[in-house]
Amino acid sequence: MQTRDLVAALADGRGWSGSELARRFGVTRAAVWKRLDELRAAGLPLRAVAGRGYRLELPLELLDAAAIQAALPPALQARYGDVAVHWEIDSTSSELLRTAAARGDLAVCLAEQQSAGRGRRGRQWQSPPLCNVYLSVLKRFARGMGSLAGLSLAVGVAVAQALERCGAPPLALKWPNDVLAGEGKLAGILVELGGEFLGPCHAVIGIGVNVYLPAAVRAAIGQPAADLAAICAPLPSRNRVVAALLTELAEVLDRFDASGFAGLREAFVQRDCLFGQALDLSDANGRQRGTGAGVDARGALLLRQGDTIASFDSAEVTVRRA
């Protein structure tokens, strides 16, 4: 009994008894219960309902590389020729970083669950199986790493546009890598670089989107969080979400490759939730306070402090509303 096959049976949202599952897969009920307990411990939103057996809290869809490719515009289907879907992996970004030398431009890695998903500054990204989107894309650049300043902000624009295409209300961006629905974090972005400093180089762009957050996972996050299930009606399929992300990302990356972040700055500013807000920053020099004044052409955060404006790079700063 493969875990993926068991989850596929449960994905329709109806109830399955332990006996039905045991007969379907030719195993004992004890074996089914053990595997279901493992899935529940990993965060799958699975419930035992009296008289109805086991079911998911809502119908969820397995990721499908062919379905994702088919949902892309024809011009992008060849560009995204390498779309890999894993059942479980340590991290989609780690996989692309390990295998970058053997992969072409715009290689895609997806996973149903991650054992070591991560966000900015090494924070853990909660990765329950089947609930969300864990996506990484390898993008190659002829120029050096210094030309990629502001890339995470540009990707944020693409993510917000894609999720709105899927039915989300207008979304905000929080410098340097969060997509917000109201006060809750809906998606996060992590960009990691490789190659030659002076070029050519590559970026592995990691994107995590909360499609459905089970209550236990939401509690473990420890900060306000949002998911598409709460803000989209109907809830878009995960394959549709991935296709929308890849579509918007290709356009934004082409613009970024041509003109850097400067060409996307205005699109970010229109969604900047920190602009005009009282902010509390922490960097290597300690804590500083001021008012958000937007971002510069390289994507650095601008902080107004009296009559002066200071700039801060995302690598060294954490920022919160004061």
For residue 225, give the nearest of 192, 267, 169, 183 by alpha carbon: 183
Distance CA 261, CA 153 (A): 8
pLDDT in tens, 114-126: 888 765 555 665 6
The predicted-structure confidence for 230-287, as pLDDT tens digits, reads as follows 999 999 999 999 999 999 999 999 999 999 999 999 999 999 999 999 999 998 788 9
Local structure of 226: helix, strand or coil: coil
pLDDT digits (tens, 9 = 90+) for 90-114: 999 999 999 999 999 999 999 998 8
Residue indicated by tokens 């007969």: 23
Residue 298 is given by DSSP the state T
Catalytic: which of 103, 185, 238, 265?
185
Beta strands in the chain, from DSSP E residues, in sequence order: 46-49, 53-56, 83-89, 107-114, 133-141, 172-174, 178-181, 184-195, 201-209, 278-283, 286-295, 301-305, 308-312, 318-321
Estimate the crossing angle of helix 3-10 against helix 29-42, to 10 degrees. Answer: 80
pLDDT value of residue 122: 54
What is the CATH number assigned to the segment(s) 3-56? 1.10.10.10
Write down the catalytic residue from 120, 174, 238, 265: 120
Residue 320 annotated to the active site: yes
Per-domain residue ranges for the chain? Answer: 3-56, 65-269, 278-321
The CATH number of the structural domain formed by 65-269 is 3.30.930.10
| Residue in 34, 52, 143, 320 annotated catalytic | 320
Q: Which H/E stretch holds residue 154?
A: helix 151-165
DSSP annotation of 168: P
Look up the CATH architecture of domain 278-321. Roll (2.30)
